[in-house]
Structure 1
Amino acid sequence: MATTSSQDLGTKPISKLIIKQALPASIGILVMSLNILVDTIFVGNWIGSTAIAAINVVLPVSFFIAALGMAIGIGGSSIISRALGADQRQKALKTLGNQITLTLLLTLTMVTIGLLFADAIISSFGGKGDIFEPAKIYYEIVLYGVPVLALCMMANTVIRAEGKPKFAMYAMMIPSVSNLLMDYIFIYILDFGMAGAAWATTLSYVFCFLFILWFYGSDRSELKLSFSHLGLNVPIVREITSLGFVTLARQAVVSITYLFMNNILFDLGGETSVTSYAIAGRMLMFAMFPVLGVTQGFLPIAGFNYGAQNYHRVRETLNIAIKYAAILASIVFIILMLFPEQITRMFTSDADVLRQAPNDMRWVFAATPIIAWQLIGAAYFQAIGKARPALLLTLSRQGFFFIPLILILPQFYGEFGVWISFPISDVLATIVTAYFLNREVKKNLIPKDV
């Protein structure tokens, strides 16, 4: 039964497969994003708008460490998808074992460093003035749970690579729902403030981890590990890290972006501008859930069929995924252009933020309809195991375009220069990705089919 599930990726109609893979992924991302969104609403209304800015300071640090697990997960899942497609089950098992070992070694090391240099890190990421103290409270508690979160993020991608998208969805939903329940108890009822928000987040990771342990201990998974699979294998580690480095580099650039944005906006507009960016950032995580769901659903299908040398199915998967993602991105764009004021009011009643945030949000999402080409295009190279182009295209938007723009444009246009950097970088990155993707398809997919 389990074997049939992964083999479906190479036989079932592509449209149905993408929906089957993307729908649970989208729901999982939606619930996770709703968690972040509602968590921010709770914090803003029950603690204060400065608390929103404080969490925005901490997130890039904690998410970067947790992204080690996601990077290892996605890098290893690409190997697992292709190994299952090529009927190399032992390689798939060894890869999963190595993913677990690498995740634990790296995240525990990073958390230790993060706790030793807490004050300096918080200040560097924009935790200044009134933001510092609540940021430090949140930071220290959340960091204890980050290795557990990293394991959950790693395992989630592997569950999807097995062709079990519903269980991957459940793994994403459990911490989200539990976090909101504990937010209500710790913040609203017990009045623990920032510490309550942090403990709610940390404990939610534990619930997710317990579910994943159950999944791999049951007969739902076709990957049954033994201790021998945990020993590091140099060729597998090299392949995991080369492919996973794409995801890690992306998250590193995201963290660097937060560092620059929080500091630049604090200097230009103080706590109000940092809070405005925090709200736009939460909406960016939330509103893009259907597009990210299609991207996540696309990865195992493309990887499996590439490993099985079904190149016509890879091409079809690519085309359908871009079409679905573009339609969904356009819907997101319309909603956010029409209702930014109403969205901002959900987070805060602060008059200064209410005046500024809606217009900022419109600029952040101005190029959303075209973003599908960039996301799917970069993910394609990762799915087929081509780490270098995947890395370069993944970094193109924020690393090559956005960060230079936010350093240059504010010198001429002030804070407005920061906000117009969003659509400009989206357009430039999409053009570059479309060029390389089109060249790759013509060179390596079409000739093998004719």
Structure 2
Amino acid sequence: MDARPSEPVPDEQATPRFVAGSTMRHVLVMTGTGTAGLIAIFIVDLVSLLYISWLGDPSLTAGVGLATVVMFFTVSINVGLMIPIGALVSRSLGARQREDARRLATSGSILMALIATLVSIALLPLLPAILRMLGATDQTYAVASSFLWIALPTNVLMAFGMAFSTVLRAAGDAKRSMYATLSVAAVTVVLDPLLIFGLDLKVNGAALAINLARVVYLFVSYRYVARFHGLLAWPSLKGIAADAMPFFAIAVPAILTNIAAPISNAFFTSIMARFGDQAIAASAIIDRVTPVAFGGLFALAGAIGPVLGQNWGAQRYDRMRQTLKDSLTFTIVYVGCVWLILYLVRVPLTQVFHAQDLTAELVQFFCQLSGFIWFFIGLVFVSNASFNNLGFPLLSTFFNWGRATLGMIPFAYYGAEIGGPKGALIGIGAGSVAFGIAAVITAFWTIRRLERQATAHL
């Protein structure tokens, strides 16, 4: 895996990028480039579902929606595995230990790929039970199962690509990380209509497009890491074994944190399934619209990790606090703007998906409620990024699972009992309030604790 760069690499003694300059600028640049890449992918996913909806069969839309729930689980595990790579590599770079950063980047990428492979192998034979549990009917089950048998085996390629993108972000190279992510969108946007309509492969065409996009993602991200940063070394069993403990010390709680979302999403999908395929189709559309609309919050959670990690390595606790404050300011402004846009486009949005009756009603209702729900979820996102990168991953696990269980399940369940599928949507928002506020308060407390510990050792 070792690839000596053809471009000059940063000097080991040079000041790390995030330790100097405006923290707000770092937050905006990292989040902006991350948002561009993520939203491009999410838009492609949204367009893929749009193409499927144009086939005129609600069971196809519902089947892809159920497949998305399972894919969300694998992606969430991958994101959890990205977190230790970003935290450990950025911390080493902040402390100007470049060789350690190279070794950690290599070991982390390999460990991430191994776990992603095991996850796919474990899930494939369990698909019948999982899809039935989600409420799949015979036709939606056939659609979802076919889609997943095509897409799940290439999860390992996605894992490698995500790992290399994380290394780029840990090094402060947000631009090339964005370009690598955009390569996924570029390939998919070209291949989707060709495979779905041109070759008449329908849902299977969308799954094949995902696989080909992952191949390109891996190639582009690897080239950027190797050519411009030289942050990959030849892997060795000794190095991987030595790095496994610090890697999994962060990865295990991070994975536990991240799988809370897909598990709660699966529970919510099963609630919606009680109201028929139209409700499942609405849930599928909401699941695709949400990351496009609120992709900035997903990007923000990944963006502030390297900023916090480098400043922690440099013991700049004042900049760590300011980074957290800047992130909260961004969250308020961003969610407010997106909420207004969703409210204004709620009717055209359902029309473009040819959504009718209950499907259209639920999607429009979500657009009216979305800002309230996602503001407090955004607070949890920002706080979790802080916990994972500052040595408190168990707090991230606690708050994410707390929101996904106590803050969601009873509220969504009883909301559905009282107000049907609309009541379930209201329940998601109501249950997020307390956990969002408590998570932010705790995030600032962890920085104060780290500063006191550092002062005590002087």
Equivalent residues in 2 for 1:66-215 (5 A)?
A: 66-215=75-224
1:49 and 1:350 in contact (8 A); partners too: no
Q: Is 1:399 matched with 2:405?
A: yes
Please name the residue that 1:251 is paired with.
258
Superposed displacement of residue 113, structure 1: 2.2
Q: SS of the residue aligned with 2:222? A: helix
Q: 1:228 aligns with which of 229, 236, 239?
A: 236
2:10 and 2:229 in contact (8 A); partners too: no
Distance 1:51 1:251, change over 3 A: farther
Q: SS of the residue aligned with 1:385? A: coil
Equivalent residues in 2 for 1:333-352 (5 A)?
A: 333-352=339-358
1:136-163 Cα deviation digits (max 9, x unpaired): 1111111122111122122221210011
State, as a whole percentage, how many aligned pairs show the same letter: 19
1:409 and 1:417 in contact (8 A); partners too: yes
Distance in 2 (CA, whole Å) between partners of 1:299 and 1:57 is 31
Q: SS of the residue aligned with 1:339? A: helix
Superposed displacement of residue 331, structure 1: 0.6
Distance 1:171 1:384, change over 3 A: same
2:34 and 2:178 in contact (8 A); partners too: yes
Q: 2:326 aligns with which of 297, 320, 323?
A: 320
Please name the residue that 1:19 is paired with.
28
Distance 1:127 1:242, change over 3 A: farther
Distance in 1 (CA, whole Å) between partners of 2:159 and 2:352 is 30
Distance 1:404 1:102, change over 3 A: farther
Superposed displacement of residue 230, structure 1: 7.6
Distance in 1 (CA, whole Å) between partners of 2:413 and 2:375 is 25
Distance in 1 (CA, whole Å) between partners of 2:164 and 2:80 is 11
Gaps of 5+ in 2: 1-7
Task: Give the count of matched residue pairs.
Answer: 447
2:77 and 2:259 in contact (8 A); partners too: no
Greater Cα offset, 407-416 or 312-321: 407-416
1:105-146 Cα deviation digits (max 9, x unpaired): 222222222222332222223322431111111111111221
Distance in 2 (CA, whole Å) between partners of 1:147 and 1:72 is 12
Distance in 1 (CA, whole Å) between partners of 2:148 and 2:325 is 42
Q: 1:275 aligns with which of 273, 281, 298?
A: 281
Distance 1:114 1:422, change over 3 A: same
Distance in 1 (CA, whole Å) between partners of 2:253 and 2:292 is 22
Distance 1:77 1:397, change over 3 A: same
Distance 1:160 1:194, change over 3 A: same
2:53 and 2:61 in contact (8 A); partners too: yes
Distance in 2 (CA, whole Å) between partners of 1:60 and 1:241 is 25
Please name the residue that 1:10 is paired with.
19
Please name the residue that 2:247 is paired with.
240
For 2:19, the aligned partner's letter is: G
Please name the residue that 1:290 is paired with.
296
Greater Cα offset, 313-322 or 12-21: 12-21
Distance 1:62 1:48, change over 3 A: same
For 2:413, the aligned partner's letter is: L
Greater Cα offset, 239-248 or 382-391: 239-248
Distance 1:391 1:250, change over 3 A: closer
Distance in 2 (CA, whole Å) between partners of 1:351 and 1:66 is 32
Q: SS of the residue aligned with 2:16? A: helix
1:38-90 Cα deviation digits (max 9, x unpaired): 11111111363322221221123223224333222211210111111112223
Q: 1:363 aligns with which of 353, 369, 372?
A: 369
1:365 and 1:423 in contact (8 A); partners too: no
Equivalent residues in 2 for 1:350-429 (5 A)?
A: 350-429=356-435
Superposed displacement of residue 36, structure 1: 1.3
Superposed displacement of residue 171, structure 1: 1.4
Distance in 1 (CA, whole Å) between partners of 2:24 and 2:246 is 30
Distance in 1 (CA, whole Å) between partners of 2:15 and 2:285 is 39
Q: SS of the residue aligned with 2:372? A: coil
Distance in 2 (CA, whole Å) between partners of 1:6 and 1:102 is 29
Q: SS of the residue aligned with 1:233? A: helix
Distance 1:79 1:187, change over 3 A: same
Distance 1:54 1:96, change over 3 A: same
Distance 1:170 1:374, change over 3 A: same
Q: 1:57 aligns with which of 62, 66, 88?
A: 66
1:329 and 1:371 in contact (8 A); partners too: no
Greater Cα offset, 111-120 or 419-428: 111-120
Please name the residue that 2:3 is paired with.
none
2:105 and 2:232 in contact (8 A); partners too: no
Superposed displacement of residue 259, structure 1: 2.3
1:376-402 Cα deviation digits (max 9, x unpaired): 122111121221212222333223311
TM-score (norm 1): 0.92
Distance 1:442 1:69, change over 3 A: closer
Superposed displacement of residue 2, structure 1: 3.3
Gaps of 5+ in 1: none
Distance 1:250 1:347, change over 3 A: farther
1:74 and 1:154 in contact (8 A); partners too: no
Distance in 2 (CA, whole Å) between partners of 1:312 and 1:89 is 24
Superposed displacement of residue 372, structure 1: 3.7
